[in-house]
Structure 1
Amino acid sequence: MGAMNEEPAAGSGQGSRGFLRSLGEIVIIAVTAVLLAIFIKTFLVQAFYIPSGSMEPGLAINDRVLVEKPSYWLGGSPERGDVVVFADPGDWIFANQIPPSPSGFRAALSKIGLYPSGDHLVKRVIGVGGDTVECCDSGRILVNGTALDETSFIAPTDHCDGPMTQDNGAYLAGGCKGWKAVVPKGRLFVMGDNRANSADSSFHLCSPKRQRSTDPAIKETCSSAYVPVSDVVGRVAAVFWPTDRFGLEHRPATFDNVD
């Protein structure tokens, strides 16, 4: 009787090819997801967390916020009343406010925008290039001569809406009284909503006399009170964590009255 030919075990080659195909699909999906996350972070939306109480009561310490970027595309720029996230324009972040850098897997997620970053600042835009911001009219900040009604969104203050004023290191006598700033083109005057605890533009503002100085060194120092528009990452659109604080961020109506 002739010998019978042995056939290879059914499915052995197909199983190997199936495993490799599945592995390849997983790699493609993972790479696509990472590239999509990088695209979203770069052009659309990015997560940040709030490291300090300077924007209370609207934004509390450790709130996670989503910052949208398309509003400032194609010639758009920050408007009065926007809450914006921006890079440190120069020694605004004190040493004890610098958050620890994420490590391990969180660091990787932070690079592609899937883990909140805390190495930027968040403030509200009060004045844009060309505006005159001054304090105070019956305790209220004025922009181009219009007094702002900020009671609905800033923390209650004892005497006026801008108590952090200093002269680049030395507090101005009288606190809120008599300061004035003309915002340079391409820059922003920003303030925290918690005016008693916010090292913002008013905190870094020079005295009127120093602002008028022609000394290049003094002018450069005084310019640190303003945020370059180019340093703005985007506009805070919503608080997404913790869930009991979820809410959308809107521009207050009082800024619509500014000329």
Structure 2
Amino acid sequence: MDTEAQHMERDRSSCPPDGAEEGSRSTHVPDRSAASLSWGRTVFLGMLCTVALLLFSSFVLQPFLIPSGSMQPTLRVGDRVLVNKLAYRFGSEPGRGDVVVFDGTGSFIQETESDVDGVGALLRGAAASLGLAEPAGSDFVKRVVGVGGDRVVCCDKRGRLEVNGTSVDEPYLHPGDRPSDVAFDIVVPDGKLWVLGDHRSNSRDSRDHLGQPGGGMVPVERVIGRVDWLGWPLGRLGSLEGTDAFTGIRPSDADHG
């Protein structure tokens, strides 16, 4: 009898009190609603950050992937540069020596119908605006050599570029390149730009469109922004070095009236 009582007491002591079993089990059941809410917040924050980046890129500072060597050695293939979209927003206009990104539609390339793949085009555009993909085929990066009213000639007796009668030494040119293998003598219309690549022997620029409608002149309103900084690779991180090559260029005769 004593032995049986002891066994019964042990059995009672091993059983949890009423409701304890259910409580212990409930602690192991995952709260799916909380997990779902946390996941939803993560997705929302990710989308919010992406939208904020796209807006910032659209109106303030846009990463731009350099797709070719036409601007070497200033810019190299694969560089990510930061384009200042506010540089010309408040009455200021591109100046000689500025490195600019512009839409070449109508000047460097012909007007074309919009891409029928709307979703694909949108995704590619978003990736390009974040510097994750090559820019649109209509976007170019070049250096401004002539602004409205300038007479730009190549070349003088020493083989240098000449702007409004003043010869220009161009230290940014690719080693071994001449200012141009193509002779030209042009006057830049008001509101237009004459642009060249720093790697003159490897650049399709205003010179290549001399005989076409527009003559290779880029409308100022097509300029997307000025390249002010290098963002990648890390070894080249910093502001883009300016040039004083055009310092002292006098206004064109047309400006004197």
TM range (shorter): 0.7 to 0.9
Aligned-residue offset at 1:144: 1.5
Return the TM-score normalized by structure 1: 0.72
1:235 corresponds to 2:254? no
Letter in 2 for 1:161: P
SS in 2 for 1:18: helix
Partner of 1:169: none
Aligned-residue offset at 1:12: 9.1
Give me the whole-angstrom Cα distance separating, in 1, the residues matched to 2:240 and 2:188: 25
Give me the whole-angstrom Cα distance separating, in 1, the residues matched to 2:228 and 2:133: 14
Partner of 2:54: 38
1:147 corresponds to 2:172? no
Whether contact under 8 Å (1:52, 1:61) holds in the other structure is yes
Quick one: which of 134, 141, 161 aligns to 2:179? 161
Partner of 1:124: 143
Q: Which runs of 5+ in 1 are unaligned?
A: 95-102, 166-175, 207-220
Aligned-residue offset at 1:108: 7.5
- Residues 165-203 of structure 1 show CA distances to partners (whole Å, capped at 9, x for unaligned) of 2xxxxxxxxxx3xx2111111110000111122221123
Partner of 1:193: 198
Quick one: which of 240, 244, 247 aligns to 1:253? 244
Letter in 1 for 2:233: P
User: Taking structure 1 as reference, are residues 201 and 248 closer, same or farther at Cα in structure 2, changes over 3 Å only?
Assistant: same
Whether contact under 8 Å (1:57, 1:194) holds in the other structure is yes
SS in 1 for 2:155: strand
Aligned-residue offset at 1:222: 4.2
Which moved further from structure 2: 240-249 or 39-48? 240-249
Whether contact under 8 Å (1:83, 1:235) holds in the other structure is yes
Q: Which has the larger radius of gyration?
A: 2
Give me the whole-angstrom Cα distance separating, in 2, the residues matched to 1:114 and 1:23: 28
Whether contact under 8 Å (2:107, 2:218) holds in the other structure is no
Letter in 1 for 2:60: L
Give me the whole-angstrom Cα distance separating, in 1, the residues matched to 2:176 and 2:129: 39
SS in 1 for 2:87: helix
Give me the whole-angstrom Cα distance separating, in 2, the residues matched to 1:145 and 1:91: 26
- Residues 123-167 of structure 1 show CA distances to partners (whole Å, capped at 9, x for unaligned) of 1000111111112222111112221110x2101346x4121x2xx
Return the TM-score normalized by structure 2: 0.72
Aligned-residue offset at 1:90: 4.1
Give me the whole-angstrom Cα distance separating, in 1, the residues matched to 2:128 and 2:195: 27
Give me the whole-angstrom Cα distance separating, in 2, the residues matched to 1:74 and 1:11: 62
Aligned-residue offset at 1:231: 1.6
Give me the whole-angstrom Cα distance separating, in 2, the residues matched to 1:56 and 1:244: 16
Partner of 2:132: 115
Letter in 1 for 2:54: I
Letter in 2 for 1:64: R
Give me the whole-angstrom Cα distance separating, in 2, the residues matched to 1:52 and 1:14: 53
- Report percent identity of matched pairs: 38
Whether contact under 8 Å (1:47, 1:116) holds in the other structure is no
SS in 1 for 2:42: helix
Q: How does 1:53-68 map to 2 (within 5 A)?
A: 53-68=69-84
Whether contact under 8 Å (1:141, 1:161) holds in the other structure is yes
Partner of 1:226: 217
Quick one: which of 77, 82, 96 aligns to 2:98? 82
Whether contact under 8 Å (1:127, 1:190) holds in the other structure is yes
Partner of 2:6: none
Letter in 1 for 2:150: D
Aligned-residue offset at 1:247: 4.1
